[in-house]
Structure 1
Amino acid sequence: MPGPDFLTLPPRRVKPRTTGLTHVIDPGAGPAAVADVLAGGAAHADIWKVGWGTAYVDAALEEKVALLHRHDLLLCLGGTLLEIAWAQGKAVECLAWARDTGFDLVEVSRGTVAMTLAEKAALIARATRSLTVVAEVGSKAPGEQHAGRTWPAECLADLDAGASLVVTEGRQSGTVGTYDDQGRVRPDVVEAVVAAVGVDRVIFEAPRASQQAWFVRRFGPEVNLGNVAPTDLMSVETLRLGLRSDTADLSGAVRAEPHADTA
């Protein structure tokens, strides 16, 4: 059944799209819970990241991979698992397993283990042999705020090494990297990254509604948003379309006069 079409809303690209991406972080949800989310929201999700190391311990992973692919989502392996594999000298094995399991993308990060920029670039280059790479930039450590001017160099190096997109760190808490410890956006970081690589090549991790709304107001409905909770999928789409007060634009609205009661 087609949806309603009586409102004037911002144009929105349909899948498969290259901008306006919604990148979901899955904390280990079971297939039934994922199916419930996708029943109404599959059209609004583009990348589904299996977070942390949950893919390694999920007995129902094969079923979930098949379900996500049926709904035309790209499946992404979280960066923490690859970092740990790299630290144990098992990065090649991890990447081969991810490809054979059905992952389409892999996140390459350096927020859990000590890794130089050169080592990260080499890992990105290796990962691109079998998977599409999204590269995460920024510190996961609470209170450790890298100045905005330091972010562009790593973003550019990651793209030069073969990453397709860069991801600005926000974690599930939304209080690190791109944000201060109160969850407020750091505009200097955002503007520095966008100036360096362009807004279309960045996924902004934005787990909180206030953060999602900030990015939609700043860059419009086709901004790429990441670390969206599965249960917030349709909520984010309403922010993109101006169907929540946080992003509603009623400047051109025409208010109808109530009809007089002639009864």
Structure 2
Amino acid sequence: MNHPKFTCHPELIDPSGERVSKSEERGLTMLIDKGICLALFQEHLQFIGPFVDYVKLGFGTTVLYPPEVLQKKLLLAKKKNIILYPGGTLFEIASYKGVLKEYFDYLQKMGFDHIEISDGTIELPARRRQKMIKRAVSEGFTVITECGKKAIGSHFEVEELERTLYSDLECGAANVIVEGRESGKNVGIFNEQGLIDKQFLLDIQETIPTNMRKYLIWEAPQKNQQIELIHFWGRNVNVGNVQFEDACNLECLRRGLRFDTFPTDQPGSVMRVD
């Protein structure tokens, strides 16, 4: 028996009228996979696939997967037009241990075409960072970099973010992640309570032009952080380190399908800075 197809009115699907499609390469959503099983991974992607652009295999979890399971995750992500890639910590270990060639070879054999380059734990002088980005690009990888240290209490200046952004992009990076860790507390742009430094955002707005800010991905694992970023930068801000179970919630926030970002002209509605 054939069942009729039901579709919602566009005003119900996206009350804001502002949400962009994946093809526009902004409004990116990056999830963090801390080791969920294959079945659960597939289950999640069946529903949230259309709303997700990247899935980062957190920390060094990539090497803990049996190769056949890892390749199945890659295949499932690819089918949903999602990019699966290893977290930057694994690159840092490879750099620290002097096995970068072996690391690049391993990723290529597994089927990865994206790599994250960061220095959240190790010291990576600017020239070496530039060299690593260029090397990865020459090896055929699309490079995502990260700015900021992971140690509790680590913060950075706007000038450092600006310098890193311009340098990394010039070397061939596709995006630059602003460090926030999976906790979103007392690191990067967040204080000990997980609140965003609004003045920092205002300074970025004054320092880095719109056409360059679009390359930034803000790690914001907590709902209140995602809400604040949407209110400040608009519904199509790039957000990372989102938990799998929060992907649908974030998409609702982007579209105005929640009270917090309801699309009205009243106080509390989304303020579009750009």
TM-score with structure 1 setting the length: 0.90
Report the counterpart of residue 259 of structure 1 in structure 2. Answer: none
1:199: how far off?
Answer: 2.4
1:249 maps to 2:253 = no
SS at 2:259 equivalent:
coil
Change (3 A) 1:248 1:53: same
1:106: how far off?
Answer: 1.0
Report the counterpart of residue 44 of structure 2 in structure 1. Answer: 37
1:147 maps to 2:157 = yes
Report the counterpart of residue 141 of structure 2 in structure 1. Answer: 131
| Aligned partner (choices 43, 48, 53) of residue 55 of structure 2 | 48
Identity %: 32
C-alpha distance in 2, partners of 1:17/1:219? Answer: 16
Of structures 1 and 2, the larger Rg is shown by 1
Report the counterpart of residue 66 of structure 1 in structure 2. Answer: 75
Question: What is the aligned residue count?
Answer: 252
Superposed CA RMSD in Å reads 1.8
C-alpha distance in 1, partners of 2:102/2:158? Answer: 35
1:2: how far off?
Answer: 5.5
User: Tell me, which stretches of 5 or more residues in structure 2 are unaligned?
Assistant: 267-274
Instruction: Give 1:169-248 correspondences, 5 Å limit.
Output: 169-175=179-185, 176-193=187-204, 195-196=207-208, 198-248=212-262
Name which of structure 1's ranges 59-68 and 41-50 shifts more when overlaid on structure 2: 59-68
| Aligned partner (choices 8, 24, 33) of residue 26 of structure 1 | 33
Does the aligned pair in 2 maintain the 1:152–1:192 contact within 8 Å? no
Larger helix proportion, structure 1 or 2? 2
Does the aligned pair in 1 maintain the 2:16–2:263 contact within 8 Å? no
Q: Which amino acid aligns with 1:53?
A: G
1:77 maps to 2:103 = no
C-alpha distance in 2, partners of 1:73/1:27? Answer: 17
1:172: how far off?
Answer: 0.1
SS at 1:128 equivalent:
helix
Does the aligned pair in 1 maintain the 2:28–2:236 contact within 8 Å? yes
1:164: how far off?
Answer: 1.1
User: Tell me, which stretches of 5 or more residues in structure 1 are unaligned?
Assistant: 253-263
Change (3 A) 1:3 1:20: farther
